[in-house]
């Protein structure tokens, strides 16, 4: 077996709309192509032995053990690998379920598709599945150690890639509210919402966390001073920089016991608590000084009690937890070291912040703390006896948390909320030392020791004891108060032909509203009519660029086949999904061999239309019409003919449509006809002479109309949009050269040629074509281009693209010539392979009043050349 290609899909795609995180592995089964599993001796037994948990896969039989049944009676290796890739991820702790395996038109080559949670782990699981299967085929088994290693690697990949517990809870809450999110490429920042409505978070810092507040919170002394000035109880303390200031400082805070900590520390590093003697104090000083960047040390009175964290979000207490330092509880038999090991076996304990709890580590600090309590690692604790391994209660050093949200005294709630305001933090973790959070701090001599910006959420979301609290909810309420939008309207446009033109026209109409429009097309990414990035930008990367842009108010996204197949859509829902047409082009590429398969690719855009949105479909194209079945939202149709039965039917049922009637582009809303404009006044239709442009304009009018744009603005938009070199380079650019005209058009498939033919047919003078075709199309397609040219032109010059896309020079021209002579043997086509020469020849020989049509490889080059002939106008009017 050989993996030919691995693709990672990250959004709605050909295989699934909802299960959108998929690995697609193109697999050549080689010698196993002709061998189903029942014909491989020992394979079934080997697989059961290696991965017995596959018994849970129901597969097509639909019952437990169903998949094993398939293996026993005979199924192909691609299908087996799909199930193994899923199971390996499952065993590594990431739940996945969706898979598909399909043959391709190449015998023995399959597309194996399976879900992932982490994409690196997904790709790894695919490779491991192939390895595992091959090994069972060759040797009857797969070594246990290998499998263990695979699973360990998979777990590592997932842990390293995961968002972190706090971020993840916020993202989950956003998802539950249908607020989109995306990971930004730097600083682990997460964007919630799209375009102008976006907010950001980074762990538990938010777009609203002010820099002054965050810096103040990081400055413990400054924090204490501000709080003290506000009458908030804080520890009595002072800051020193030299050892010889220590004694005076101890006196100043009222003598032992004291606490010594670095001025600028965190995670409990360098802190000594309950220091009782001068010698301890000196050691503690060294520790703290070493942990401080500025060598500054805080000396504070020690307050009795336990550590509490009060989480304040957007001015309100959201949760309270009591934190208990890392400890073990005796069982009367085990040593402390053994107890630590037992405690660490808790699956909730991981390394660092990756898990709900952190493992307890035995280090110098732990030994010191034990020694202070009179224990050693080998001490055996009595039943119920507690030994602490840390003096401070940080979860990251193995502490646990107990929820106290329902117990906090109202006065303490009031204090905490004031504290958050005094510091200025939107999300604040307030550390309180008190013996009893149920009593007012003043009554029990409790103090606020610190205020944390970016407090961790896991102690509240997953306390070791007590109720878990949904503290992500108030965060999202703050970022997106009920009733505020998080999304910008997305209008996505797909189809075989006319995407760019229609996307540009839609953007132009949307611009009439005065809003900032971001749009992507084959020639670039634009925001507000400025070019952001040049190039073919019809995939998810460009779409994200628009959705990430903080100025964009409406997104118009040309969405081409290539991007959908390569990685899926960048968005999982859109407001308007336009499908213009499905014609034969790009067939035979990317395992899409039939026009029906191509229709399925394009229907992804229609299928992601939200329940409140509209799919705008071409009623004149049966493949497009059939997409309506799968649309979750509403459907609106456009048609060139008022007599189209689909339209009739749709309107009768109160639906929405756009048609071309009596020379007008009109919207039909139930019984009513709203005329937008006469085609002759819509420049893009070339005075109504280019039927396909009328169709594109109908789609654009309908898409913007269902999006709620005023019909006046739509009219203004279609009137002012010109098929000029500036607005639609290469799309029906007609140049008046005085003696004759020239038309540049980027048609590159049969449907495009036919469309242009519809316009050329309306021309009265001589019609000269300069034609060629992209080399990566099938022979038959190129022959067809020749035939269509023969139908369209009086005279033809055949040229070739510079980039022959893998063909021998002259091969494309030969195929086109064949098509021409098959259609009309009396035409005497000329062959000039060089595009520029061919065009020059056509321009210099065309008769007066004639039309030269060129389908160029490079639009800019052709435009430059024609502009050298000093046109009177191009059709910018
Ligand atoms: P973290 O990063 O977890 O917030 P930190 O390094 O910032 O820790 P502090 O919050 O100042 O350090 O102190 C850590 C813990 O030490 C406190 O939560 C509290 O339990 C204890 N502590 C600090 N100062 C005092 C004090 N004056 N009296 C009693 N306990 C204290
Ligand atoms: P690409 O796949 O290259 O991105 P596209 O779908 O974006 O193409 P446009 O760039 O708008 O399409 O148009 C390319 C050419 O396709 C036009 O110049 C014209 O020849 C032809 N065309 C445009 N609209 C239609 C249509 N509705 N039906 C058939 N052909 C069309
Ligand atoms: Mg702290
Ligand atoms: Mg395009």
**Rounded Cα gap, residues 291 and 297, in angstroms:** 9
**Rounded Cα gap, residues 743 and 769, in angstroms:** 10
**Whether the predicted pLDDT of 426 surpasses 80:** yes
Q: Count of alpha carbons within 13 Å of 238, Cβ hemisphere only?
A: 14
Ligand 1 atom at minimum distance from 449 CA: 24
pLDDT digits (tens, 9 = 90+) for 339-385: 999 999 988 888 766 677 889 999 998 998 899 889 999 999 999 99
Pocket test for ligand 1, best of 298, 392, 445, 446 (most atoms within 8 A of CB): 392
Q: Do you find a cis peptide bond into 343, omega within 30 degrees of 0? A: no
Q: Tell me what pLDDT residue 802 has.
A: 87
Q: Tell me what pLDDT residue 270 has.
A: 87
- Structure-token pair, residue 605: 């855009």
pLDDT digits (tens, 9 = 90+) for 113-141: 999 999 999 999 999 999 999 999 999 99
Instruction: Tell how far the Cα of 321 is from the centroid of ligand 2, in angstroms.
Output: 62
**Rounded Cα gap, residues 383 and 839, in angstroms:** 96
What's the whole-number mean pLDDT along residues 854-873?
Answer: 85
pLDDT digits (tens, 9 = 90+) for 482-538: 999 999 999 999 999 999 999 999 999 999 999 999 999 988 999 997 999 988 888
Residue 499 Cβ < 6 Å to ligand 2: yes
Complex ipTM above 0.85? Answer: yes
Ligand closest to CA 620: 2
**Whether the predicted pLDDT of 268 surpasses 90:** no
Instruction: Tell how far the Cα of 867 is from the centroid of ligand 4, in angstroms.
Output: 23
Burial of 631 (0-12, 13-18, 19+ CB in 10 A): buried
Instruction: Tell how far the Cα of 546 is from the centroid of ligand 3, in angstroms.
Output: 40
Greater pLDDT, 581 or 393: 581
* Sign of the torsion formed by the C-alpha atoms of 690, 756, 493 and 185: negative
Identify the band that residue 877 occupies on the pLDDT scale cut at 50, 70 and 90.
very low
What's the whole-number mean pLDDT along residues 192-196?
Answer: 97
What's the whole-number mean pLDDT along residues 398-412?
Answer: 95
Q: Tell me what pLDDT residue 353 has.
A: 64
Residue 501 Cβ < 6 Å to ligand 2: yes
Instruction: Tell how far the Cα of 10 is from the centroid of ligand 3, in angstroms.
Output: 39
Q: Tell me what pLDDT residue 875 has.
A: 62
Instruction: Tell how far the Cα of 524 is from the centroid of ligand 4, in angstroms.
Output: 10
- Structure-token pair, residue 816: 């086109």
The vertex-312 CA angle with 174 and 411, nearest 5°, equals: 145
Ligand 1 atom at minimum distance from 325 CA: 20
Q: Tell me what pLDDT residue 804 has.
A: 86
Ligand closest to CA 292: 1
Instruction: Tell how far the Cα of 795 is from the centroid of ligand 4, in angstroms.
Output: 28
What's the whole-number mean pLDDT along residues 91-106?
Answer: 92
What's the whole-number mean pLDDT along residues 257-271?
Answer: 85
Q: What percent of the chain has pLDDT over 70?
A: 99
Q: Tell me what pLDDT residue 559 has.
A: 95
Residue 747 Cβ < 6 Å to ligand 2: yes
Instruction: Tell how far the Cα of 809 is from the centroid of ligand 3, in angstroms.
Output: 73
Comparing CA positions, the residue from 692, 704, 805 lying closest to residue 751 is 692
Question: Atom 19 in ligand 1: which residue has the minimum CA distance?
Answer: 307
Identify the band that residue 876 occupies on the pLDDT scale cut at 50, 70 and 90.
very low
Q: Tell me what pLDDT residue 585 has.
A: 77
The vertex-457 CA angle with 451 and 459, nearest 5°, equals: 95
Pocket test for ligand 2, best of 492, 493, 498 (most atoms within 8 A of CB): 498
Residues 6 or more apart from 528 whose CB is under 8 A from it?
511, 516, 517, 518, 551
What's the whole-number mean pLDDT along residues 749-766?
Answer: 88
Residues 6 or more apart from 635 whose CB is under 8 A from it?
614, 615, 617, 628, 650, 655
Q: Collapsing DSSP states into helix, strand and coil, what is residue 369?
A: helix
pTM of the model: 0.87
How many Cβ atoms are within 10 Å of 176's Cβ, its own excluded?
A: 12
Greatest CA separation for the chain: 112
Ligand 2 atom at minimum distance from 756 CA: 20
Residues 6 or more apart from 300 whose CB is under 8 A from it?
235, 236, 237, 253, 258, 259, 260, 261, 449
What's the whole-number mean pLDDT along residues 83-104?
Answer: 93
**Whether the predicted pLDDT of 619 surpasses 90:** yes
Q: Tell me what pLDDT residue 160 has.
A: 81
Runs of H (alpha helix) within 257-335: 278-291
Residue 498 Cβ < 6 Å to ligand 2: yes
Length of the chain: 877
Pocket test for ligand 1, best of 224, 253, 268, 276 (most atoms within 8 A of CB): 268
pLDDT digits (tens, 9 = 90+) for 698-712: 999 999 999 999 999
Instruction: Tell how far the Cα of 268 is from the centroid of ligand 1, in angstroms.
Output: 6
Q: What percent of the chain has pLDDT over 90?
A: 75
**Whether the predicted pLDDT of 202 surpasses 70:** yes
To the nearest whole number, what is the mean pLDDT of the chain? Answer: 92
**Whether the predicted pLDDT of 755 surpasses 90:** no
* Sign of the torsion formed by the C-alpha atoms of 295, 298, 304 and 305: negative
What's the whole-number mean pLDDT along residues 249-262?
Answer: 94
Q: CB within 6 Å of ligand 1 — which residues?
A: 235, 259, 261, 265-269, 271, 273, 300, 302-303, 307, 392-394, 431, 433, 449-450, 452
Which range (67-71, 436-440, 450-454, 813-817) has the least confidence? Answer: 67-71
User: DSSP strand E in 565-691: where?
Assistant: 574-579, 609-618, 634-639, 656-661, 664-669, 672-678
Q: Tell me what pLDDT residue 61 has.
A: 86
Q: Tell me what pLDDT residue 609 has.
A: 97
Residue 696 Cβ < 6 Å to ligand 2: yes
DSSP 589: B
Instruction: Tell how far the Cα of 590 is from the centroid of ligand 2, in angstroms.
Output: 21
Residue 728 Cβ < 6 Å to ligand 2: no
Instruction: Tell how far the Cα of 696 is from the centroid of ligand 2, in angstroms.
Output: 9
Which range (22-26, 197-201, 525-529, 729-733) has the least confidence? Answer: 729-733
Question: Atom 12 in ligand 2: which residue has the minimum CA distance?
Answer: 498
**Whether the predicted pLDDT of 336 surpasses 50:** yes
How many Cβ atoms are within 10 Å of 749's Cβ, its own excluded?
A: 22
């Amino acid at each position: 077996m050989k993996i030919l290609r691995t693709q990672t899909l990250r959004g709605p795609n050909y295989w699934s709309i909802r299960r959108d995180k998929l690995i697609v592995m193109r697999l050549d089964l080689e010698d196993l192509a002709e061998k189903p599993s029942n014909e491989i001796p020992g394979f079934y037994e080997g697989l059961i032995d290696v991965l017995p948990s596959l018994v849970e896969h129901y597969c097509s039989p639909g019952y437990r053990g169903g998949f094993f049944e398939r293996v026993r009676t005979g199924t192909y290796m691609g299908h087996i690998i799909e199930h193994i890739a899923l199971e390996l991820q499952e065993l590594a702790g990431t739940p996945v379920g969706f898979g598909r395996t399909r043959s391709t038109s190449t015998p023995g080559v399959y597309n194996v598709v399976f879900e992932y949670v982490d994409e690196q782990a997904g790709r790894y699981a695919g490779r491991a599945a192939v390895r595992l299967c091959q090994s069972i085929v060759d040797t009857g088994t797969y070594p246990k150690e290998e499998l263990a290693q695979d699973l360990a690697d998979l777990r590592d990949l997932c842990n390293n890639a995961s968002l972190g517990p706090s971020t993840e809870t916020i993202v989950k809450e956003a998802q539950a509210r249908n607020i989109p999110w995306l990971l930004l490429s730097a600083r682990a920042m997460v964007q919630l919402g799209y375009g102008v409505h976006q907010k950001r978070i980074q762990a538990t810092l938010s777009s609203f966390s002010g820099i002054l507040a965050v810096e103040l919170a990081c400055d413990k002394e400054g924090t204490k001073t501000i709080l003290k000035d506000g009458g908030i109880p804080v520890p009595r303390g002072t800051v020193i920089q030299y050892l010889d200031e220590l004694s005076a400082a101890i006196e100043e805070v009222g003598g032992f016991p004291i606490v010594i900590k670095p001025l600028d520390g965190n995670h409990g590093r360098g802190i000594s608590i309950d220091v009782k003697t001068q010698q301890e104090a000196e050691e503690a000083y060294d520790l703290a000084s070493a942990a401080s960047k500025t060598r500054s040390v805080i000396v504070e009175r020690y307050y009795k009690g336990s550590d509490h964290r009060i989480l304040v979000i957007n001015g309100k207490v959201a949760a309270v937890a009591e934190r208990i330092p890392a400890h073990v509880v005796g069982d009367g038999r085990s040593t402390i070291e053994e107890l630590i090991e037992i405690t660490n076996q808790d699956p909730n304990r991981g390394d660092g912040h990756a898990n709900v709890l952190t493992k307890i580590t035995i280090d110098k600090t732990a030994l010191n703390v034990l020694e202070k309590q009179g224990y050693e690692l080998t001490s055996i604790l009595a039943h119920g006896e507690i030994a602490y391994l840390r003096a401070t209660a940080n979860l990251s050093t193995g502490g646990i948390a107990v929820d106290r949200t329902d117990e906090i005294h109202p006065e303490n709630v009031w204090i905490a909320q004031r504290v958050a305001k005094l510091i200025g933090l939107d999300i604040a973790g307030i550390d309180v030392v008190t013996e009893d959070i149920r009593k007012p701090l003043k009554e029990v001599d409790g103090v606020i020791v610190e205020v944390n910006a970016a407090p961790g959420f896991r102690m509240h979301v997953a306390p070791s004891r007590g109720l878990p609290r949904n503290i992500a909810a108030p965060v999202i309420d703050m970022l997106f108060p009920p009733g505020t939008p998080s999304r910008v309207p997305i209008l996505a446009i797909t189809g075989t032909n006319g995407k760019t033109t229609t996307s540009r026209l839609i953007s132009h109409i949307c611009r009439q509203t005065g809003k900032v429009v971001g749009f992507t097309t084959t020639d670039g990414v634009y925001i507000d009519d400025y070019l952001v990035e040049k190039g073919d930008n019809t995939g998810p990367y460009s779409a994200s660029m628009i959705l990430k842009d903080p100025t964009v108010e409406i997104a118009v996204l040309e969405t081409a086949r290539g991007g959908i197949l390569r990685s899926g859509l960048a968005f999982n829902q859109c407001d308007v999904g336009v499908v213009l047409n499905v014609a034969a082009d790009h067939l035979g590429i990317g395992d899409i061999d039939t026009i029906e398969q191509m229709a399925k690719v394009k229907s992804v855009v229609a299928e992601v239309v939200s329940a409140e949105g509209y799919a705008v479909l071409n009623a004149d194209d049966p493949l497009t019409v059939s997409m309506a079945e799968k649309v979750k939202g509403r459907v609106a149709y456009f048609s060139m003919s008022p007599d189209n039965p689909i339209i009739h039917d749709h309107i009768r049922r109160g639906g929405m449509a756009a048609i071309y009637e009596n020379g007008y582009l009109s919207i039909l809303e139930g019984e009513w006809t709203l005329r937008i404009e006469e085609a002759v006044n819509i420049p893009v239709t070339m005075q109504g002479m280019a039927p396909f442009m009328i169709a594109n304009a109908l789609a654009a009018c309908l898409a913007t109309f269902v999006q709620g744009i005023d019909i006046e603005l739509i009219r203004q938009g279609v009137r002012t949009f010109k098929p000029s070199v500036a607005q639609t380079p290469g799309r029906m650019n007609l140049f008046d050269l005085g003696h004759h005209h020239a038309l540049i058009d980027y048609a590159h498939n049969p449907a495009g040629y036919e469309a242009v033919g519809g316009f050329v047919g309306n021309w009265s003078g001589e019609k000269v074509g300069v034609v060629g075709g992209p080399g990566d199309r099938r022979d038959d397609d190129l022959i067809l281009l020749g035939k269509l040219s023969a139908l369209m032109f009086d005279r033809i010059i055949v040229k070739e693209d510079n980039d022959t896309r893998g063909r021998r020079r002259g091969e494309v021209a030969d195929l086109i010539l064949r098509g021409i002579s098959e259609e009309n043997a009396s035409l005497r086509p000329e062959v000039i392979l060089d595009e520029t020469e061919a065009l020059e020849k056509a321009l210099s020989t065309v008769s007066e009043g004639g039309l030269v049509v060129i389908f160029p490889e490079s639009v800019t080059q052709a435009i430059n050349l024609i502009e050298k002939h000093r046109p009177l106008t191009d059709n910018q009017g």
